[in-house]
Structure 1
């Protein structure tokens, strides 16, 4: 055990002094070329030391765009939900605390990640932020729900606010323009608890408001805790908000987040965090449309029908059912946020495309992610190369000044980015307040 601990410490040190890096071009896009899997005594690890931004600092936007702080001094903002009246609902959240202590190496991971934020505790509450004078900065803050169990997903249907907590989907009476909510009720319980490997429960309403869709991540990497621990997990659930009845909508999705419907359609999209411990460049996290009744491979296969030989017993029948995702985002980006551009102030070349919040890798010796990328769409499908849009979250010393999570378009069509290390919500607009010319630069090649 002592040898393994020393190995882990050495790998952590290597990651901490590495510079941000992009995987080779074959690692992302509609048709990624995947390397062969690798087996390790201890997997690669590299975690950017979180330091936060100074008061006069901000991330760096693509050329032609500018960044301002919509809100600062928050306590782990994870999700943002802009409302039609301009208000923004925010979920401040941290995990239940024991989500990474299932295996010896996870104890190390939890100590590093948990100890890094000792000075700032997650709010685990729901806020409403208001920009009362229209200058792009929130000047009023109201606490809608003062305490919840790791809240994450947010949705509003009519006069009800829905919140996906780690162990339940909640509903609160809420009127647009109000600064408080009514007494909450549980719509349905969700798989969770004090040991919840993937605790984020994202939520989106169907376009007609008749259903809610909830992402529930796996409780393991590759079912090392047994399949019984994965009941109704690694899946997206469809929930009837009126009576709480639920069913499995899609399965085999290791950790689905960023649930969004493509504008003008009934097509559900999500970003998925894939499995670890197969090497620096496996497995790519991905962006995909999610089909009713479809299976996407986990745990028996990855990125379609690539068999994971570590999983026992093998299930060739399930591998044969596995659907290939639409678009690889790159290995271990930890994509957690997704939003589509549909009108507003963004230039024409961004319309119909998607912004993805990449929280950043830990299962690589060299950092990957830690940025917001733009993914172009054509014909309702992702295509081309992901383009860095909001960067500068890692400094030249390998410190994480911020880590983007949730992304959303506000009422004016500006991009809002929740940053749970920078403790801020960033607002990105075309420079000068007018649509900027030119698309952001392409992702740089591997070094």
Structure 2
């Protein structure tokens, strides 16, 4: 009975908080977002878009583009890697399961669960082979099984790296291989105690010598204690040969996707920021990853804006906090990042594609789309553009984009959708059929 009364009172508080949930008209994108005053709430204003399914419809893409579901009935697809021969690897899994600390955490967890797939994570990597490029794979097989919530993927010099929630693994790979047996070699363990943010993003340096692993915080703003945050809210640099690692940047709350910008070879990340400061705080962001930088978490946000909830404060550390490069909007939940390269798409030739999984903690839904950030000279240069929309219809969610992978060799963008459990492919006016088909054993035919 007490639990039911608590649930009722917290839901009532949620409704009251929603009445003052912030100015939804504020421009929360770009290098200098307009940050409103703090709006602390007992619980955030929660609204989740309940799943509905596509019912034969498709996401919306720009005129002249085509989107196709290339795989359905997956088990929580997260991130995608395109192999040199054109095969597609899809990491499927769901981890975490951190205990809830506060009654409002229980409510938030319940609300968030309403917007997720009911399918259990696959703990595997699936291979899709579409040798003729028609968007209909001739082969679908389990490539690696018995993993532990795999997320980040990278291929370096004949080795496939997989970031499980608790370890970075290495598997020997040969072109055309359709499965890998065995547990793989452990390169290094990854922080996984409690695992509030379980996803481990991964990117390889252009020369393949270093691997970068994004490790999210273990809480919203450190409420589990500092001991739970050891080696959390950081990006590690890992030596690919030896597995030795070091903290590359810190104070970066949840770096959910990493990618190198092709013209500058600079590492970039998309980051999920903190909750419970209002509908318009704090903006999630896209940023270059500058060695040795501190991005503020948990003591400050967007540079040196103090978070008054954190005690004790560290003013000397906050003085060093750097502001991110580009705000994506508050609570859009970016989980995917990939740069256009080569010729790109018409109108989307140079810049970053971002998969925005979508909000749960604001009354006006945000995200639920793939956006494009134009770049020039290796830096953001303009307002974001919607690239794929239609994931929301009449307030209900038909899909939620996660991993984004642009494939310049085949002129296609691949999207993992972990709500409808689909992998989508987008092709542009320069159709895939105009390009030479790729042999499943590598090279062109």
Indicate whether the TM-score tops 0.5.
yes
| Deviation by residue 1:255-302 (Cα, 9 ceiling, x = unmatched) | 002200110333110001000000000000000001111111101100
Q: Which residue of 1 aligns with 2:345?
A: 346
C-alpha deviation, 1:51, in angstroms: 2.5
Helix, strand or coil for the counterpart of 1:249?
strand
Helix, strand or coil for the counterpart of 1:49?
coil
Partners of 1:162 and 1:434 in 2: how far apart?
28
| Deviation by residue 1:276-331 (Cα, 9 ceiling, x = unmatched) | 00000000000000111111110110001101111111111111110111000000
Q: Which residue of 2 aligns with 1:163?
A: 162
The correspondence for 1:358, drawn from 351, 356, 359, is 356
Q: Which residue of 2 aligns with 1:381?
A: 379
Q: How does 1:150-229 map to 2 (within 5 A)?
A: 150-183=149-182, 184-193=184-193, 195-229=194-228
Q: Which residue of 1 aligns with 2:91?
A: 91
C-alpha deviation, 1:250, in angstroms: 0.4
User: Unaligned stretches of 5+ in structure 2?
Assistant: 434-445
Q: Which residue of 2 aligns with 1:79?
A: 79
Q: 1:372 to 1:7 in 2, by over 3 A?
A: farther
| Deviation by residue 1:197-224 (Cα, 9 ceiling, x = unmatched) | 1000000000000000000000000000
**2:299, 2:307 within 8 Å by CA — same for their partners in 1?**
yes
- 1:327 to 2:329 alignment: no
The root-mean-square deviation of aligned C-alpha atoms, in Å, is 2.3
C-alpha deviation, 1:431, in angstroms: 4.5
Partners of 2:59 and 2:144 in 1: how far apart?
29
| Deviation by residue 1:225-264 (Cα, 9 ceiling, x = unmatched) | 1111111110000001211100000001000022001103
Q: Which residue of 2 aligns with 1:403?
A: 400
Partners of 1:119 and 1:226 in 2: how far apart?
32
**1:15, 1:366 within 8 Å by CA — same for their partners in 2?**
no
Partners of 2:393 and 2:14 in 1: how far apart?
17
Q: 1:432 to 1:260 in 2, by over 3 A?
A: closer
Q: TM-score, normalised by structure 2?
A: 0.90
Q: Which residue of 1 aligns with 2:439?
A: none
Q: How does 1:27-176 map to 2 (within 5 A)?
A: 27-54=28-55, 56-96=56-96, 98-99=97-98, 101-114=100-113, 119-176=118-175
- Displaced runs of 4 or more, over 4 A: 1-4, 10-16, 115-119
Q: Which residue of 1 aligns with 2:437?
A: none
| Deviation by residue 1:108-129 (Cα, 9 ceiling, x = unmatched) | 2333444665742211211111
Partners of 1:102 and 1:415 in 2: how far apart?
39
Helix, strand or coil for the counterpart of 1:357?
strand
C-alpha deviation, 1:433, in angstroms: 2.5
Q: TM-score, normalised by structure 1?
A: 0.90
Helix, strand or coil for the counterpart of 2:177?
coil
Partners of 2:410 and 2:69 in 1: how far apart?
16
Helix, strand or coil for the counterpart of 1:27?
coil
Q: 1:7 to 1:432 in 2, by over 3 A?
A: farther
C-alpha deviation, 1:371, in angstroms: 0.5
Q: Which residue of 1 aligns with 2:426?
A: 428
The aligned length equals 426
C-alpha deviation, 1:74, in angstroms: 1.1
Q: 1:159 to 1:233 in 2, by over 3 A?
A: same
Partners of 1:100 and 1:140 in 2: how far apart?
40
Q: How does 1:232-311 map to 2 (within 5 A)?
A: 232-311=231-310
**1:336, 1:359 within 8 Å by CA — same for their partners in 2?**
yes
Q: Which residue of 1 aligns with 2:440?
A: none
Partners of 2:123 and 2:402 in 1: how far apart?
15
**1:268, 1:289 within 8 Å by CA — same for their partners in 2?**
yes
| Deviation by residue 1:127-163 (Cα, 9 ceiling, x = unmatched) | 1111133212223112122121111000010111111
Q: Which residue of 2 aligns with 1:443?
A: none
Helix, strand or coil for the counterpart of 1:60?
coil
C-alpha deviation, 1:63, in angstroms: 2.8
